[in-house]
Structure 1
């Protein structure tokens, strides 16, 4: 029985092959050759993001517009800082002991698919973040560093709070997708960084990395809704005030933070 089945199958296959029609080729009349062309122009020297950034908690979304006062309005050009955060510790109760304080999360307005603020308005808080955009098209790379002055009184510049500001853990956020094994990610130095007048490296994009928009997000929290409650402070950013600090309730203490974006590395690697 098994032998019969095998022979029948072989006969059927032979019949199919022998009975197959020979292919018919049409005579070639013509073979036109056409072009597909594209030309690029550089982004304007005064280009900016219009005050909008990606959503650091949802990079693939429509983006957000940080509220006025939450940070820098950004720089201009094809290589730019779209947003750098202020750190608002608000009004806190002074203590005779050494004490740590944490800033309020920045408030942003959600954008719609056209890049405009939603109507009705949707607002939320997000982690502190700094966003860099590289639209130069040269793939040369870049570097972002941060430094800060001492916390001094705005009325009395001699009044030194002796405080330190520490940026904690950070993660990258971007809508840029990897291709052919290249994730295009810049290097993020996510160690805890005590700010001083010496620039500290935050992100570095080597050649063929860091194209498009990238954010360093200073938060371990993965939630997308940070709310507006009194406890909505970022524990990952810390202002440490020592016990021997003199504190004047009539004074406001301020540190100026500088975020420097360079086209080439200017500082040694962070160990």
Structure 2
């Protein structure tokens, strides 16, 4: 005699949630490690966002009538993380794999509205030796501009990286230079030493030793007027859908 049998149908469901919560800053040379950068953290929100943009500080310099190239202070962190080259961090959690483009624009020349000489005419900011890193599979890495980026035209937009369709998902860092901890990536950091040959430290970041990063440079012509004041500019970093 045949045994009676019954059949029933069940279902399985899966729902993807957009990861639009904050992504903490990560070590650009050891991206599995979260870090706490010294200084202000500037970021945007959304599924496609900038988690951290670099702040370039060239520090006090003597007034000179000779052409000068100044290097940016490297990025310092609280805790045990050593100094790193300046970097930008971004996340693409849209899940669409549509791609994106990262650009930078310098809004003004280095200026001080209260000085007699209000701008450093002819000053040129430049970035070099940029490279990308992520905990994501490297086959998804965006294409990063490899040539030095010289911002010779104020207000013009300069590409930094492009993620074509199917690329750039997850969280990525783009570092300008390196501390030399990653094999095959040139070290661009040098310690800042005072007149006595001792390391200069940053009191705002746990008195950690300061470094200069030769991959981020500011050229200032000698034969322009300049006052003994602070000059500054504004950079706009944009991440946009292709």
Give the TM-score normalised by the residue count of structure 1.
0.71
Larger fraction in helix: 1
Q: Relative contact order: is structure 1 or structure 2 higher (C-alpha 8 Å, sep ≥ 6)?
A: 2
Is residue 2:109 matched to residue 1:150?
yes
Structure 2: any 5+ residue segments left out of the alignment?
193-198, 201-209
1:170 to 130, 135, 146: 130
1:243 alignment counterpart:
222
Distance in 1 (CA, whole Å) between partners of 2:18 and 2:241 is 16
Q: Helix, strand or coil for the counterpart of 2:101?
A: strand
Distance in 1 (CA, whole Å) between partners of 2:48 and 2:230 is 34
Q: Helix, strand or coil for the counterpart of 1:56?
A: coil
Say whether the 8 Å CA contact 1:48–1:74 is kept in structure 2. no
1:42 to 14, 18, 28: 18
Say whether the 8 Å CA contact 1:48–1:80 is kept in structure 2. no
CA-to-aligned-CA distance 1:1-46 (integer Å, 9 cap, x gap): xxxxxxxxxxxxxxxxxxxxxxxxxxxx9998765431112344xx
2:145 alignment counterpart:
189
Say whether the 8 Å CA contact 1:155–1:252 is kept in structure 2. no
Say whether the 8 Å CA contact 2:68–2:219 is kept in structure 1. yes
Say whether the 8 Å CA contact 1:168–1:218 is kept in structure 2. yes
Cα 1:209/1:157, change in 2 over 3 Å = farther
Distance in 1 (CA, whole Å) between partners of 2:178 and 2:94 is 31
Is residue 2:55 matched to residue 1:55?
no
Query: Which structure would you say has the larger Rg?
Result: 1
Structure 1: any 5+ residue segments left out of the alignment?
1-28, 110-120, 265-271
Distance in 2 (CA, whole Å) between partners of 1:173 and 1:95 is 38
Cα 1:105/1:33, change in 2 over 3 Å = same
Query: Offset at 1:263?
Result: 0.9
| Correspondence 1:212-227 to 2 at 5 A | 212-223=170-181
Deviation >4 Å, runs of 4+: 29-36, 224-228
Give the TM-score normalised by the residue count of structure 2.
0.79
1:206 alignment counterpart:
164
